[in-house]
Amino acid sequence: MITEQERSIFSITTSIYNWVRENLFSSPLNVLITLCVFPFAFYLFISSGDWILNKAEWDAITRNTRIFLIGQYPQSELWRIGTVAFITTNLLGISWHLKGVVFQRLSLIILVPLISVILIPPIFLDISIGLRSWFALVSMGFLLGYLLSKFQNLSTRVLLVSWSLSMIIDFILLRGIEGFGALPYVSTNEWGGLLLTFFLAIIGIMLSFPLGIFLALGRRSNLPFVKGACVIFIESIRAVPLVTLLFMTLIIVPLLLPEGWRLDRVGRAIAAITIFSGAYMAENVRGGLASVPVGQTEAAKALGLGPLLTTTLIVLPQALRNVIPAIVGQFISLFKDTSLVVIVGLLDLVGIGKAVVLGNVEYIDQQAEVYVFIAAVFWVFTFSMSYVSQIIERSLGVGDR
């Protein structure tokens, strides 16, 4: 007689057996391929695991965690970064109940690494108590927001406004106000690490998206001057590499400005990233615009809508929905492109990595570790972006009409 437990074990083993047979050994050729690839994959897995756990030394990262996260942001103003992180996780918690799973998945993506860093004992992960308690506080922010949403379900509208407002508050908090004692000005020169990478990416996305839409609409305009200007702008920006634009804004601009004028370096980098990404965004949006059937515009006209309303209410929403994958792809590449600012001396995540490895003799042999770490960080964020975009696509029904 077979007991219930044995039966379930049996069924699991048969299902594994079936899966292996169907997927790995279904034909003589597949058997051959499996036999060739498997030892190689196994070796790769073992050797990379061995490297990560035994051979690699991670103290270049654990001892410099702070500058990897926030660069040279002053010690006395750390609470401002903490507050910004707290506000963000708090809003995530409050948004947990919203329809769809976007915010829940987003929260998990952020919280799981945070909490695991707090919980890994010091012998395995040598980072300071201070940092751990900051992480704990930020996680508490989420819990607080989550509990709040249990008592009072805020509407989507209120939450959208809160998210937008929080961006303004975050920015003012981080930058400070000149001549205001409680919030002294922190020059963007001192922003660095992941903070700067995020800042460049978020501001770049927020600016290049509307710019792209305007350029795309301009390119489809009937006015020859507007159309011509947009075409020239888009085509000339797309014809040069981002690196060239960065060099232009950072090196040539100071030579053209009058003596003594200073333009913020981070601002210049953002300008380069924005116009570059805006030009590509414009072409994505134009693709979306072209995909909207002419009948839609004609129907809108028949209903008596003017050109402005036709565009904003009928054409754009459909156009943008159709090109979400392309737009998110552009956001992801913008996020990764921010790492190019390192060649003009800004200390983003890659810049800090470079400074740590090259500037300290004791870490000079940990180059591989530092770049593996940076790659992992980039992977986590770009993967989250594409994952969230997939959820949004599914909820909007892109692809199935």
Partner 1 sequence: MRYKLLAAIASIMVLVAVLSVGCTTTDDSDSSATRLDTVTERGNLIAAGRTDLPGFGFLREDGSNAGFDIDLARAVAAAIFGDGSSLEVVPISAAERGPTIQGGEVDVLTRNVTWTTSRDAQWGNFTNVMFYDGQGFMVRANSGFDHATDLNGITVCVTSGTTTESNLADYFRQNGFSLDTVVFEDSASVYGAYEEGRCDAATSDKSQLAAIRSGLQNPNDHKILPETISKEPLTPAVPHGDDSWFDLVKLVMYVLVNAEELGVTQANVEASKSSDSIPVRKLLGVEGSFGQADVGLSDDFAVDVIKAVGNYGEIYDRYMGPNGESFTLPRGPNELWNNGGLIYAPPAK
Integer angstrom CA distances of residue 86 from 136, 210, 312, 313, 401 = 10, 28, 35, 36, 40
* Residue whose CB is less far from partner 1, 129 or 255: 255
Taking each helix axis as running N to C, give the angle between helix 367-396 and helix 324-337, from 0 to 180 degrees, rounded to the nearest 10.
160
CB of 31 to partner 1, least distance (A): 40
Q: Minimum distance between the CB of residue 241 and partner 1, rounded to whole angstroms?
A: 15
| Side chain identity at residue 276, one-letter code | F
Q: What are the φ/ψ torsions at residue 153 (nearest 5 degrees)?
A: -80, 110
Contact in structure between 315 and 296 (CB atoms under 8 Å): yes
**Among 73, 340, 284, which Cα is nearest to 195's?**
73
User: CB neighbours (10 Å) of residue 245?
Assistant: 19
Residue pair 219/234 in contact (Cβ under 8 Å)? The answer is yes
Give the residue with the Cβ less far from partner 1, 15 or 189: 189
Distance CA 167, CA 241 (A): 30
Q: How far is the CB of 100 from partner 1 (least distance, A)?
A: 17
* Nearer CB in complex with partner 1: 34/162: 162
* Least distance to partner 1, CB of residue 174, Å: 10
Secondary structure of 7-44 in HEC code, one letter for each residue: HHHHHHHHHHHHHHHHHCCCCHHHHHHHHHHHHHHHHH
Q: Which is nearer to partner 1, 67 or 328 (CB)?
A: 67
CB of 278 to partner 1, least distance (A): 12
Q: Could you give the CA distance from residue 299 to residue 307 in angstroms, rounded to a whole number?
A: 12
| CB closer to partner 1 out of 143 and 364 | 364
Distances (CA, A) of 222 to 228, 259, 281, 309, 333: 10, 42, 21, 17, 32
Q: Work out how close the CB of 342 gets to partner 1 at its nearest, in angstroms, rounded to a whole number.
A: 8
Nearer residue to partner 1 within complex by CB, 12 or 158: 158
Whichever of 41 and 263 has its CB closer to partner 1, that residue is 263
Of residues 146 and 173, the one with the C-beta less far from partner 1: 173
Minimum Å gap between C-beta 366 and partner 1 is: 9
Which residue has 């754009």 as its token pair?
316
What's the rounded Cα separation, in Å, for the pair 337 and 168? 24
Which residues neighbour 359 within 8 Å (Cβ) at sequence distance 6 or greater? none
Residue 255 C-beta: closest distance to partner 1, Å: 5
C-alpha–C-alpha distance, residues 43 and 48, integer Å = 8
HSE value, Cβ hemisphere, 13 Å, CA-based, for 376: 10
The two structure tokens encoding residue 145 = 């927001």
Distance separating alpha carbons of residues 38 and 171, to the nearest angstrom: 50
CA distances to 90, 239, 297, 315, 344 from 107, rounded to whole Å, are: 10, 39, 40, 33, 34
Choose between 100 and 345: whose C-beta lies nearer to partner 1. Answer: 345
Work out how close the CB of 30 gets to partner 1 at its nearest, in angstroms, rounded to a whole number: 40
Closest CB 196 distance from partner 1, rounded Å: 12
Residues lying near partner 1 in the complex (CB under 8 A):
63-64, 66-67, 70-75, 157, 160-161, 164-165, 167-168, 171, 175, 187-190, 192, 203, 206-207, 210, 247, 250-252, 254-255, 257-267, 270-271, 312-313, 343-347, 351-352, 354-362, 364-365, 367
